[in-house]
Amino acid sequence: MERKCYFLIPAAGSGTRMGAGLPKLMRNVEGSPVILRTLGAIAEVCRKRYSGLDYRIILVTTNDLIDTLKAMCSEYFSDINISFTLGGATRTESVSKGIGLITDAAEDDFVLVHDGARCLITEEEITACIDGLMVHEVCASAVPVKNTLKQVEVLPSGEVKVISTPDRSGFYEILTPQGFRYGGIRKCYDKAINEGITATDDTALAELLGLEVILTKGLYSNLKITTPEDIAIASEIVRSRGESEPFHD
């Protein structure tokens, strides 16, 4: 039997930092809503049956968006196996609900979690994560930190005091996709839900379970649409698609 690969897309946030108005996942980036771009990039990998896997998509969304997204998926992705569920109050809860939809997986099938808001994801990053999972238990897309970081302490006055300057070469910024074997991600999220742990990414839970996490080559352009200026930046990246992307191979 072919190995299955599930793309689990958390798209159930409230977009608070984007502000009022159209939900952020429906905002227009060069003629396409954010979520349609995200799904489009993933659908390409599914359609190519990359590495001979049997692909499915699980879309975790909100009451407000579910009907629109179902209509969008039947218009653009009717050839792909997509299931839908409603999310929870946190990303951790939303991902957990998505995992709950997986009922037919073998322990070593793949599950790649990818933020609905990361609409500039490229095929290259997705396939790097899949290739990594052929060998490793947990893999996630990442880029070396570009800026100098400061460890700080917030003083009682509210001022921010610098404590130290860590060596930047020891830090990577984590992106998505973040890939697991089904058995591994289920254990991570069972623990998170049972113990009330909330994490902003998936690999933090893998670390808690002691699973080894290997980083795969991400792109700096894989930004998460979060605040209003990200729409303008993403639009410009779509227009140019010219990037310089260092990574330690």
In the complex, minimum distance from the CB of residue 60 to ligand CTP, in angstroms, rounded to a whole number: 5
Cβ neighbours of residue 166 closer than 8 Å, sequence gap 6 or more:
149, 151
Among 51, 68, 83, 90, binds ligand CTP (CB under 6 A): 90
In the complex, minimum distance from the CB of residue 13 to Mg ion, in angstroms, rounded to a whole number: 5
Piece in contact with ligand CTP (CB under 6 A), picked from 51-59, 85-93, 149-157, 182-190: 85-93
Piece in contact with ligand CTP (CB under 6 A), picked from 7-15, 102-110, 134-142, 188-196: 7-15
Determine the Cα–Cα distance for residues 17 and 106; give it in Å rounded to an integer: 38
DSSP 142-209: EEE--SPP-EEEE-TTS-EEEEE---GGG-EEEEEEEEEEHHHHHHHHHHHHHHT---SSSHHHHHHT
Per CB under 5 A, which of residues 13..42 are in contact with Mg ion? Answer: 13
Tokens in use for 41?
């990039």
Do residues 54 and 29 lie in contact, with contact meaning Cβ atoms separated by under 8 Å? Answer: no
13 vs 87, which CB is nearer to Mg ion? 13
Determine the Cα–Cα distance for residues 173 and 177; give it in Å rounded to an integer: 13
57 binds ligand CTP (CB under 6 A): no
Here's the x/- map for ligand CTP, 121-150, by CB under 6 A: it reads as: ------------------------------
Torsion of CA 112, 118, 121, 127, to 10 degrees: -10
Which single residue is written with the structure tokens 């800026």?
A: 147
Q: What is the SS3 assignment for 1?
A: coil
Residue 182, Cβ neighbours under 10 Å: how many?
20
Among 4, 7, 8, 10, binds ligand CTP (CB under 6 A): 10
Among 22, 89, 106, 134, binds ligand CTP (CB under 6 A): 89
In the complex, minimum distance from the CB of residue 212 to Mg ion, in angstroms, rounded to a whole number: 27
Do residues 19 and 28 lie in contact, with contact meaning Cβ atoms separated by under 8 Å? Answer: no
In the complex, minimum distance from the CB of residue 71 to ligand CTP, in angstroms, rounded to a whole number: 19
3 vs 193, which CB is nearer to ligand CTP? 193
Here's the x/- map for ligand CTP, 15-34, by CB under 6 A: it reads as: xxx-----------------
**Site residues, ligand CTP (CB under 6 A):** 10-17, 60, 87-91, 94, 115-117, 224, 226
